[in-house]
Amino acid sequence: MNKPVLQLISLCLMFFGAVSGGYSTENRAIILQSTTSTQNSGLFETILPVFTGKTGIQVNVVAVGTGQALKNGRNGDGDVLLVHAKQAEEKFVAEGFGVSRQDVMYNDFVIIGPADDPAGIAGSNNVLAALATIAKTKSLFISRGDDSGTHRMERALWKKVAIDVARHSGNWYREAGSGMGATLNIAAGTGAYTLSDRATWIAFGNKQDLKIISQGDTLLFNQYGIILVNPKRFAHVKATEAQTFIDWMVGPEGQSAIASYRLDGKQLFYPNAR
């Protein structure tokens, strides 16, 4: 009876060795708290290997909504944040959780909707008028509902047209509480409108009969910022490696890597670091 038990224990130790052995090569790895839009669009898979190849620093991406990324950053669970909600980012830095915030890149948001366009707003480049019409016609609208950067933008837009969407929640206004892709899946399945960042939309594989209904309004500008989590506050933050990464992202190499990322021949992110 003892022999198999010993075998099992040694097998278990082997497994543990294999698991923990994985870490030793990763002590120069940093954790990047970022958004689903940057992950789902495939940007990181293209540009991060370039950075790792040059510096030997591995970047581990945790993709969550901007709200959760900022929260995780407040807990010290990450070295760098790449998110898109400028006001909240500046607050994060002002409160001492981050060192400084820099612009990295931008793209824009678009209103996605079913091809048959029940609200009759296709082609409009006035996003406020488009949203007001969606509300007036009570056309189905799927909100992210997850406190992400996109959700914050959407709430700001509803506020501008003075529509209290909370009153219509569960009716024509539906809060998915999910990432961008999952929200687009719901919109595709129910023939509804939604607000999406352009990168996720272009990369999204289940468009069915959804299309871009409204775009081009200057209000729909989508700015991404990068922040170093404050090493004075969290001693474990790998400040040197993280700063190397930030410098690369806002420097000429990172900026041109971002600019050259294309999907279906379309540029997804436009670098604008100063």
Instruction: Write out the residues near another protein by the rule CB under 8 A.
Output: 1, 8, 12, 15-16, 18-20, 22-23, 26, 29, 31, 36, 39-40, 45, 60-63, 72, 74-77, 178-182, 184-185, 188, 203-207, 234, 236
Q: Which residues contact 27 (CB under 8 A, 6 or more apart)?
A: none
Distance between CA atoms of residues 167 and 149, nearest Å: 22
Distance between CA atoms of residues 152 and 250, nearest Å: 25
Copy the structure tokens of residue 98.
């981050």
Q: How far is the CB of 256 from another protein (least distance, A)?
A: 23
Residue closer to another protein (CB basis): 160 or 236: 236
Residue closer to another protein (CB basis): 45 or 164: 45
Q: How far is the CB of 60 from another protein (least distance, A)?
A: 4
Residue pair 158/127 in contact (Cβ under 8 Å)? The answer is no
Q: How far is the CB of 28 from another protein (least distance, A)?
A: 13
Residue closer to another protein (CB basis): 26 or 164: 26
Residue closer to another protein (CB basis): 157 or 199: 199
State which H helix or E strand residue 221 sits in: strand 221-229
Name the 3-class secondary structure at 246: helix
The stretches of 112-237 forming alpha helices (DSSP H) are 127-136, 149-160, 180-190, 198-203
Name the 3-class secondary structure at 45: helix
Torsion angle, alpha carbons of 197, 93, 259, 270, to 10: 50
The type of residue at 127 is V
Q: How far is the CB of 235 from another protein (least distance, A)?
A: 10
The type of residue at 3 is K
Residue closer to another protein (CB basis): 60 or 137: 60
Q: How far is the CB of 102 from another protein (least distance, A)?
A: 23
Residue closer to another protein (CB basis): 36 or 143: 36
Copy the structure tokens of residue 11.
């097998």
